[in-house]
Each structure stands twice: as C-alpha cells, then as structure tokens.
Amino acid sequence: MTMDMVKELRALIGETAVLDAADVATRSAGAMRPDNLQGAALARPASTAEVAAVLGWCNAHNVAVVPVGGLTGLVHGADGSADTLMLSMERMNRIEAIDSRQRCATVQSGVVLQTLQEAVEAEGLIFPLDLGARGSATVGGNAATNAGGNRVIRYGMMRNMVLGLEAVLADGTVVSSLNNLIKNNAGYDLKQLFIGSEGTLGVITRLNLRLWEAPTTRNMALLGLEDFASVTALLKRMDRDLGGTLSAYEVMWQDFYRLVTTEPAAGRPPIAQDYPYYVLLESQGADPEGDSDRFAAALESAMEAGLVVDGALSQSESDCERFWGLRDDVEQVFRDGYPVVFDVSLPIAEMEGYVAGLRTALAEQVPGHHLLVFGHLGDGNLHVIVQVPHDQGTALRPVVERIVYAPLAAFKGSVSAEHGIGLEKQPWIGISRGAEELALMRTLKGALDPRNILNPGKVLPPAP
Amino acid sequence: MTMDMVKELRALIGETAVLDAADVATRSAGAMRPDNLQGAALARPASTAEVAAVLGWCNAHNVAVVPVGGLTGLVHGADGSADTLMLSMERMNRIEAIDSRQRCATVQSGVVLQTLQEAVEAEGLIFPLDLGARGSATVGGNAATNAGGNRVIRYGMMRNMVLGLEAVLADGTVVSSLNNLIKNNAGYDLKQLFIGSEGTLGVITRLNLRLWEAPTTRNMALLGLEDFASVTALLKRMDRDLGGTLSAYEVMWQDFYRLVTTEPAAGRPPIAQDYPYYVLLESQGADPEGDSDRFAAALESAMEAGLVVDGALSQSESDCERFWGLRDDVEQVFRDGYPVVFDVSLPIAEMEGYVAGLRTALAEQVPGHHLLVFGHLGDGNLHVIVQVPHDQGTALRPVVERIVYAPLAAFKGSVSAEHGIGLEKQPWIGISRGAEELALMRTLKGALDPRNILNPGKVLPPAP
C-alpha cells in the first residue's frame, strides 16, 4: 500500500515531488520539536491543480492527509503517522501580486510570513500579522490556524486580514473565493470555514491578503505597575488616549520579567525587578513631530493618576527592539525545567483571581514548579507556562493541564486563544465548547469531508 | 393548516405571542416598502427557549420560517408568503449587560441598533456600527446580514464586532457560542456561519458585541477633487497621514452632490457644485489640542500635492452633522423617478472605467435615466442608483440590473457589498460566485437545514 501510494502519487505530480517514508523520517517535526516527521509519504505539489489531484486520489483511496505549512505550530496539529500522507505546501511559495493602490497581496499558501512582510514593506505597506515564528511559519498555516500574535489589538487576527482564498476540498474540488474586496455579502462567507479549522475542512492553496499603510512613527514604554486593577485601568485609558494608534499592550508578570532580564538571559532590566506587573506599551502613528509628545503626555497623565509607578520610554528604534526582545525571549522558559505551555483567554475581570487560583493549586499539587505568566492582555490572552522538573514532565503534564484548564469553564474562557487545538488540546475542548457546538462542528466536518481524510483526529474529539 | 398553525403555536408560546394571517397583513413590510407583510402567522417569542419551541414545531411540520428583525433590509430578505411563519424578534429586545472594563455588551437580537448605541455611549464607549436605518434595524438583523455602513474603514463590518452569539438551528437545537473573548481558537468559529447568512442557517437569538472606547475629537472636511486618480491617491495618503484615526472616506460623484445640495433638498453646497468628485473625510481621535492641527496639516499637504482643489473644514460638531446630512440624504433619489438601487463592490483601480461604462450603456439602453453614484470608497463599495421614469420601472429594472451587474464579473466584483442577496439579487449571485462556491453553500444549507425551512428561497438560487 505504502509503495503504491508513493508510486501512484509520483505518477500524478512527478518523481521528485513525492518523498517516501524513509525520506519523511529524516525531516524535523518542527523548530520546537525533538522528533522527526512521520508519514507514509510526503507530497510537495507545485500548483492548485496538483493539490487537487493528490486530494482526489487520497479521497478515492481513503488515505488520511495531514496538511503541512511551516511546522511552527505548538499543538501537534500537523502530526502524521505511518499511514498518512503529509501534504507540504513548501513549493507553493510564490507572491503572485502586491497591489499598493488596492492595498492587497495575492500569494500562494506556502509563502513564509517574514518573506511577505519584507516584500510589502518595500512598497510602504505592512502585513501586520507578526509572531515569533515569522521566519518559518507560512501564511497558509497562519490562515489555517487563525494566527494571532503581537498586534491583534490594532489589526485583529489573521481572520481579519484575509480578503479571499482558494481551498481544495477533500474530494479534490477547488473552491475559489479569491477576491480583493473588503466588503462582499454575496452569499455565505465561505473563507471563514477554512480559516482556523486547522486543515480539517480543506487545504488552503492561495490567499488574497489585506495590507495596510505603514505607520511612520513608533513609541514604546516599559512600565511597572503595583496591582492588577491598574493594569486593566491603564489599558482602557491608553486605548482611549492614544486614539487609534495603540498597537500593543503586552503584560509580563514579575516572575517572567525577572527570568528574561537576568543572566543567563541576554536582556537586562530597563526598570527595577520588584513590581508585580510590567506593561509593554506600543503606539504606532504618522506624525513624527507630535506623536512622541502625545505618547509622553498620555503616560504622564496615567502616572499622575497613580496607575503607573515606574517606566522607561523608548528613545530610539533600538530601544523598541530591546523592549520587544524581552517580551519575545520565550526560549528562557525552556531552561531549568520541562515547560508546559498554555495559551488561554478569559475575561479581564477574571484574570487576577484566575492566576491566584493557579498559584494555590500548583503549590498544593505540583512540587518544584515555576509559574510564568505573560501575554497579549489587550486581547484577553494569557500565555501561562508551568515549568516542572524534567524527569516528571510526562507524569505531571495532565495534572498541570487540569489545573490550568478546569477553572476556565466557569467564565467561558478558551483553552486556546491563538495556538489552536490540534491533538494536544483536543481532550480539553469541552471546557470551552458545549455539546451542541461540538455536534455542529461534527456536522460541518461530515458535510465537507465525509470520508474523514483531512487531518483526521485533530481538533474534534470522537463523537460521544 | 393555517388555523392549526396559529392554534398550535399559541399553545406553545402564548395567545398574544402569535398573530394570525389577517393581523400579519396589517403590518408594513418595512420603512422603504409600499406593501404589507404576508404570512400564515407571525410568532413573537420572548425567549430563546420559545424560539427553539417554534422552530422545532415548524421543522416537524415542514413549515417555512422567515426570521424578522427591523424590516429595514433592501433586498427582500424577509419577504413571506401565504404559507410561511414570520418569526419576529421584537420581544427579545433586552440589553442584558454592558461591561465597560471588558468593553462588551450582551444583548438579545431584537435590540434596536440606536438603542444599543445610546446605552453604550452613556458608558464612554461606542458600538461603532452605524447606518441610516439605525432607528429601526435590530442588532440581530445587522448580524444576520453582516451590516456595513459608514465606519467600516476603521472598525470593520458587523462580523468584526460580534464576539459570540447564540443561535437556534432549524430543528430547534440551541447552539450557544456566547462568550466575550476577542481571541478564541477552540475549534471551528461557528458564529461565522450565522453572520451574513440572512437567516437561512439559523436564527440568532443573543449576541456578545465588542465595544470600543469613544473617540473624543472629530474633524471633518468636504473636499472637491478634479479626477479619480486624485480620489484614490488621497485615500492612500489620508490613511497614512491620519495614522489610525481615519474613520470615514466617503465619495460623492457630481450628480449626487448636486442632487443633495439643491432645492428641494434641504442641504446647501459647502463648496462649489462643479467638481467631478467630492470626498467626505472624517478623523476621530483623542487629542483635543493636537488633532485639528494635524488634520489641517494633512489636508494642506494634500492640497499642495495637487490632490485637492477646494474644501470646507468643519469648525464644529454641527458642521460635521451638516456634512454627514448631505451624504445621508439618500431619500432625494426617490424624487423624479423610480430608483433602482445597487450596492456593489469592486477594486478601486476599476471604478473609474466601470462608472464610465455604466454611463455609456445607460445612455444607449435606458432613455430618460439619471445615474447617481456615491459610496464608501475606502471599502471599495459604491452605491449606484439609476432613476428611470416611474411608469417604466418594472420593465426597465432587469435591463438596468444587467448593465450594472454584468461588468463586475470581469474583475471579481460583488453584486452585494453590504445589503445582502435576499430574493432580489439571487438571480445575479453567479456574477460574484462560482459554481463550486454555490455548491458548497448548498452543502452547508443541506447540512444545517435539511428540510429547508429557514428562509427558503433566499440567498441561494435553485440547484442547477
């Protein structure tokens, strides 16, 4: 069967376009992963027609297909097995057009995010999705997982940046909803089905992406705050006083700030390490003369109101990069323990109590842990990292997961703000979704992929 | 059957909650409509459970259901017939919560848009969806039709303002995806199915809506421009130079501007009536001292660059209201002819040629017409109005429709930017959507509403 698969797929899309199981096993499973890929074969189609041919063949032969982008996901959403075909979009990596008047780009789904960012910046525009994995993540993967990142507060998630897309259904049908329109109410908005469904409803092959005019100024501050009420009050106040220019509102709890500003981390603390909360504030505007004054005035007024007790303002672009460098130095959590990484969202009013509850439960149930919390607070999204002793990682993971996820049910929080469900969070999706929602998801899956060949086993738990 | 329907539904949700056919026929079909409603009955449930009971009954008895909001739609999306049950959300009109810290509201779907706008403004927040029908349109109808309006360029369409929703499926199943999270990637984003599907996939009963901090300043200008290249160049420039504060970029072609600034219209021209294009520019910010200077400087620089040849700047809020009053005086198109109203979107680069083509075709094929063009240019959305002689309205409508819609196919324009498809545009949806897209829409419809009871005949044309 496996040899047939390789042979038959090679006949469809070419000899070098299909790797066999042995070759698949030489490829890394991803930047953050110690293991290698698994799969009966890996197909690398070069066109939508080839994707359609491959899926049509797989559907006819009941072969499971795992779509593969940049392999930067964190939830085992692109894991394969000995039976599956890995479908990599690596050869569909062409930027087909950038239109600076309409402010949109047409791209194949295998284009790397950073490649697109740089290409549009040359036109005085930005593609504002930004995240740590920008150098490997593909825009197709970004769309399939509805990526978030650092500037959601201003530009929304990937869903808000996709104007149109082309996808191939399980049976090989090509559904083209490619168009560059901001407004289009001509029937159901089909692209929404494919965005965020992690390759379980179709394979995204091309996209029309919205671009924005590039801001010309940037001001940042790293601020120390005494209590969580100030963190939320400052968010409201900055969102109001910076009037449309607020582009990031990131929060670091003290433990995380200390970790990324203390050796062996490369960063050093711009302000003292004793505050319970640190806010990274960014404003991007278009007024080189006025913007920094306005930014400083808004902050001064917040200090007078007692919301901020200490702070460092950026004086240059390199200061901005240094501030972001602290927030982005997530690799530090891989030191000194086995990190269990979470990506939850919850109402802002619940956050302080939620984190306090985590501290208590972890102290009781997980000896030797470290709790690190930071996140995109402006979007209600916390990254919670629990380090446990290396030799107990596997045993403690389910304990830690229950501690982190279970309390979310009470206030309709999400077990995944931006990383998605994949395999890893599938047992926990019921915390965030009711039985009727899961049943409706299964109805959609059954309607679009009746033979269950597209990324089977991901996202949706088995029917009860 | 009809008497049974009334009787059985009264048994389910109460005597006064169900009107019979005669009572239905006394109600207007909508503000812009000369006719009255049609229906075997009209149900006015007061809770989600009652909506579920009604739909469950209808599904069991194969009774078609037409969901009814504020009846302000323009595409016959809520038309009933002698056999249908009209399902009005008028009694589900409660604002359940406004949370100024989380910046969200929980509402029943029958809440009138303006009622919500005013309630949140009292909290220093805005719900930024705004359109002429605000006094009657309901937020449920806004969601079901993915309403657009005047500030899409800054805040997006209704889709971008819905955080969560509750809907009842055809068989009476209540699917609650209520939550106040900006980011939630826990499985398929089911709310997207119900937003913009015009009541054909489910009935929206409650919503979580996102709110924004209220801007504290507003600056406007009404500008005269000499050519279309300047219109598009000015959009790019203002979007860049006003850095996040641009809140409207509306364009009026000369004929429309003259119509709304000449008696018997109430408005008078703030600048001369001789320019081919007029731009209504609005910026909303948070800096009372700096914003008007910045706005004036950006405009001055655009004038120096030769993009703008004349203009009036607002000096007060009443100036702003006067400028908007011109743009919003759409009622003038109902004078002096039978207006055929369109709502198309297309790439900005195609607009000038598209409108020129309309002029030529109308001159050849529609004697005695007037062409009026205006729209949300920043979103690629043009409102095209063709007035024809009253006694030839019915005969000329299909001729005019073909002239307006057919050219859109060449550049993937949309026959509906924001009004939706309903019954009126159903014959034309194929201009904007391919056979595979329509087939996939039918797959969704079949999966969610297998007996085809929800707003049957709307949006989707019969299968080929």
Give the model confidence (pLDDT) of A167-182 as tens digits. Answer: 999 999 999 999 999 9
Q: What CATH architecture does domain A217-330 belong to?
A: 2-Layer Sandwich (3.30)
A254 burial level (CB within 10 Å; 0-12, 13-18, 19+): middle
The pLDDT value recorded for residue A334 is 87
The yes/no answer to whether this complex scores an ipTM above 0.95 is: yes
Residues on chain B touching A195 (C-beta within 8 angstroms) = 189
Which of B183, B379, B418 lies nearest to residue A418, judging by beta carbons? Answer: B183
The pLDDT value recorded for residue B31 is 83
Q: B95-213: which CATH topology?
A: 3.30.465
Q: How many residue pairs from chains A and B have C-beta atoms closer than 8 A?
A: 289
Residue A430: closest CA among chain B residues belongs to which residue? B186
Do B189 and A176 count as a contact with CB atoms less than 8 A apart?
no
B353: contact with A, CB 8 A cutoff: no
Which of B379, B447, B460 lies nearest to residue A183, judging by beta carbons? Answer: B379
Q: B2-88: which CATH topology?
A: 3.30.43
The pLDDT value recorded for residue A440 is 98
Q: For residues B364 and A289, which has the higher predicted lDDT (pLDDT)? A: B364
Could you tell me the residue ranges of all domains in chain B?
A: 2-88, 95-213, 217-330, 336-432
The pLDDT value recorded for residue A2 is 62
What are B282's strand-pairing partners? B220, B248
Radius of gyration in angstroms for the set of CA atoms belonging to chain A, rounded to a whole number: 23
The DSSP secondary-structure symbol of B375 reads: E
B169: contact with A, CB 8 A cutoff: yes
Non-local CB neighbours of A180 within 8 Å, separated by 6+ positions: A99, A102, A104, A106, A163, A164, A208, B347, B380, B412
Laid out side by side, the sheet with A370-376 consists of: A310-313, A217-225, A277-285, A246-253, A370-376, A381-388, A338-345
Which of B156, B174, B436 lies nearest to residue A175, judging by beta carbons? Answer: B436
Residue reference for tokens 């009253």 = B390
Which of A349, A419, A440 lies nearest to residue B101, judging by beta carbons? Answer: A349
Q: What percent of chain B has pLDDT over 90?
A: 94
Laid out side by side, the sheet with A104-108 consists of: A95-99, A104-108, A203-210, A162-168, A174-177
Q: Of A449, A366, A446, A370, which is closest to residue A403 (Cα–Cα)? A: A366
What are B86's strand-pairing partners? B42, B66
Residues on chain B touching A241 (C-beta within 8 angstroms) = 286
pLDDT digit string, tens, across residues A429-452: 999 999 999 999 999 999 999 999
CATH code: domain A336-432 is 3.30.70.2740
Question: Identical fold at B2-88 and B217-330?
Answer: no
d(CA B296, CA B413): 35
pLDDT along chain B (464 residues), means of 10: 85 98 97 93 98 98 98 96 98 98 97 98 97 96 96 96 98 96 97 98 98 97 98 97 94 97 96 98 93 95 97 96 94 90 96 98 96 93 96 95 97 96 97 98 98 98 89
DSSP H or E segment with residue B365? helix B348-365
Residues on chain B touching A192 (C-beta within 8 angstroms) = 189, 192-193
Do B103 and A187 count as a contact with CB atoms less than 8 A apart?
no
A114: contact with B, CB 8 A cutoff: no
Per-residue tokens: A331: 């690799």
The DSSP secondary-structure symbol of A197 reads: S
Per-residue tokens: B189: 């984003």
The pLDDT value recorded for residue A336 is 83
Distance from CA of A401 to the nearest CA of B (A): 15
DSSP H or E segment with residue B394? helix B393-405
Distance from CA of B420 to the nearest CA of A (A): 5
Q: Of A88, A68, A87, A70, which is closest to residue A78 (Cα–Cα)? A: A68
